[in-house]
């Protein structure tokens, strides 16, 4: 099947590009001894996990259903973490996870007895420093609830802990900045590490970015792990699926109100939410930097400010033309919603042999069911 025969909107995951990222991940593991867990919060399209599994060690999660999904569809090591567990959550997942990481000392104290003997016990610590572009995504922002801050640690907790987790990076492409954070962690928390078996350094390290100095990252990780005699983990999401997937849309109308807007059959609020939340414009494959024809690529939702980007094109755009919205895998499919009752994008994977495999498709019944299954009468 040719991509032109597929109905838009759809996501197209390119296996070849995914394998490129995974080979880099494998190289990092080999050089450093670090274990890598796929962060399901970023990407959980389990239909392609058979491609990813041979390269990574397992999954990490941010809620109970992600734990179950990782266990069922990925295997390997299953790490459970949540900012807040209920007692039911703890009961549901203790038997299927390898590491159980609490966000606070109070949760650890309350539920430790339910986990002990079943999973390795962990606690998230907050180093108070971070590398994050936006305050909304900064784990070290003022009053952060994410992890235990250094001055609040009760050293007693380390007598029953097996490991700790830090997460303090967001799309960090600067290896020196990462190493500096690692040094802060050593200084602030190093005296606790002797009692531990493992430390997870979280996600947000963009080691698949072109030109990233993998060797430097690997040697810093290796030295850290050896110094404290720890198994180190990273929890990459975006680094694994970056630049692998297009959201393909069709222009359904062009309107002009001082500026030309091409309206496409998708929207950021439902299909690419982070474009809106973080106000970070998308990139369109067909655009060129100096093209003479400038358009707003506008969404078909009712939200006035819902647009993908402003882009330049060599030729005027036309109704019926397709556009490829680049780099649309991370934090997109996991956040899809039915706002406005728009058609939900299908999900495909283009295999290395060219074959296009359908992974997911949605229809009106999925929309209806998401709203109610039973009526009051
Ligand atoms: C605890 C934790 N681990 C891993 C990740 C994955 O981060 P990324 O997709 O930027 O690699 C996140 C992202 O927020 C996180 O909070």
Cβ pair 173, 243 in contact under 8 A: no
Q: Which residues are annotated as a binding site?
A: 238, 274
Q: Is the CB of 12 under 6 A from ligand 1?
A: no
The CA-based angle 120-170-81, given to 5 degrees, is 20
DSSP 8-state symbol, 354: S
% of the chain at pLDDT higher than 70? 100
Q: Please give the pLDDT value at position 4.
A: 86
Does pLDDT of 140 surpass 90? yes
Cα–Cα dist 65/59, whole Å:
12
- Measure 316 CA to ligand 1 centroid, in angstroms: 40
* Position in ligand 1 atom list of the atom nearest CA 240: 11
* Position in ligand 1 atom list of the atom nearest CA 206: 11
Q: 53-83 as b/e, with b when 16 or more CB fall inside 10 Å? A: bebbbbbbbbbbebbbbbbebbebbbbbbbe
Cβ pair 78, 98 in contact under 8 A: yes
Taking residue 109's Cβ as centre, other Cβ atoms within 10 Å add up to 14
pLDDT digits (tens, 9 = 90+) for 10-29: 999 999 999 999 999 999 99
Tokens (6 digits) for 163? 């490991």
Tokens (6 digits) for 62? 């941010």
Give me the chain's average pLDDT, please. 97
H helices present in 33-94, as ranges: 49-52, 64-73, 87-93
Helix (H, G, I), strand (E, B) or coil at 46: helix
Judge residue 30's burial from the number of C-beta atoms within 10 Å of its C-beta, 0-12 exposed, 13-18 middle, 19 or more buried. exposed
Contacts of 103 (CB under 8 A, 6+ apart): 81, 82, 83, 84, 123, 124, 145, 146, 147
Listed in order, strand segments (DSSP E) in the chain are: 10-14, 35-39, 58-60, 77-81, 99-102, 120-126, 148-149, 163-165, 198-200, 231-234, 245-257, 259-264, 293-298, 307-313, 322-325, 346-350, 356-360
The confidence band for 119, taking pLDDT boundaries of 50, 70 and 90, is very high
Tokens (6 digits) for 113? 């007895």
pLDDT digits (tens, 9 = 90+) for 251-303: 999 999 999 999 999 999 999 999 999 999 999 999 999 999 999 999 999 99
Cβ pair 360, 346 in contact under 8 A: yes
Does pLDDT of 202 surpass 80? yes
Does pLDDT of 377 surpass 90? no
Higher-confidence position of 2 and 30: 30
- Measure 170 CA to ligand 1 centroid, in angstroms: 7
* Position in ligand 1 atom list of the atom nearest CA 171: 10
Does pLDDT of 1 surpass 80? no
Q: Which residue has the tokens 């209806």?
A: 368
Instruction: Please name each of the domains of the chain with its CATH number.
Output: 3-11+243-370 (2.40.37.10), 16-241 (3.20.20.10)
The confidence band for 338, taking pLDDT boundaries of 50, 70 and 90, is very high
Q: Please give the pLDDT value at position 289.
A: 96
């Amino acid at each position: 099947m040719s991509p032109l025969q597929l109905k838009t909107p759809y996501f197209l995951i390119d296996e070849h590009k995914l394998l490129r990222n995974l080979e880099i991940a494998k190289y990092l593991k080999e050089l450093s001894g670090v274990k890598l867990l796929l962060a399901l919060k970023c990407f959980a399209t389990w239909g392609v996990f058979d491609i990813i599994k041979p390269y990574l060690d397992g999954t990490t999660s941010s809620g109970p259903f992600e734990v179950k999904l990782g266990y069922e569809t990925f295997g390997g090591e299953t790490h459970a973490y949540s900012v807040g567990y209920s007692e039911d959550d703890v009961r549901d997942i203790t038997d299927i996870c390898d590491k159980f990481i609490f966000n606070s000392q109070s949760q650890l104290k309350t539920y430790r007895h339910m986990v002990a003997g079943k999973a390795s016990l962990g606690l998230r610590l907050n180093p108070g420093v971070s590398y994050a572009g936006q305050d909304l995504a900064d784990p070290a922002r003022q009053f952060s609830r994410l992890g235990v801050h250094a001055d609040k640690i009760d050293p007693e907790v380390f007598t029953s802990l097996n490991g700790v987790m830090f997460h303090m990076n967001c799309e960090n492409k600067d290896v020196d900045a990462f190493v500096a954070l690692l040094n802060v962690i050593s200084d602030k928390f190093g005296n606790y590490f002797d009692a531990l078996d493992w430390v997870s350094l979280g996600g947000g390290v963009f080691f698949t970015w072109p030109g990233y100095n993998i060797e430097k990252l690997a040697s810093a990780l290796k030295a850290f792990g050896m110094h404290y005699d720890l198994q180190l983990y990273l929890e990459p999401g975006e680094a694994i699926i970056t630049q692998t997937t297009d959201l393909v849309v069709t222009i359904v109308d062009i309107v002009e109100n001082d500026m030309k807007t091409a309206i496409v059959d998708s929207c950021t609020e439902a299909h690419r939410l982070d474009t809106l939340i973080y106000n970070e414009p998308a990139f369109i494959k067909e655009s060129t930097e100096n093209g003479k024809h400038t358009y707003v690529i506008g969404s078909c939702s009712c939200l006035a400010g819902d647009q993908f980007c402003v882009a330049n094109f060599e030729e005027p755009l036309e109704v019926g033309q397709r556009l490829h919205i680049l780099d649309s895998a991370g934090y997109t499919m996991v956040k899809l919603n039915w706002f406005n009752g728009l058609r939900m994008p299908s999900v495909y994977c283009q295999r290395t042999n060219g074959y296009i495999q359908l992974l997911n498709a949605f229809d009106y019944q999925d929309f209806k069911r998401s709203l109610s299954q039973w009526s009051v009468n």
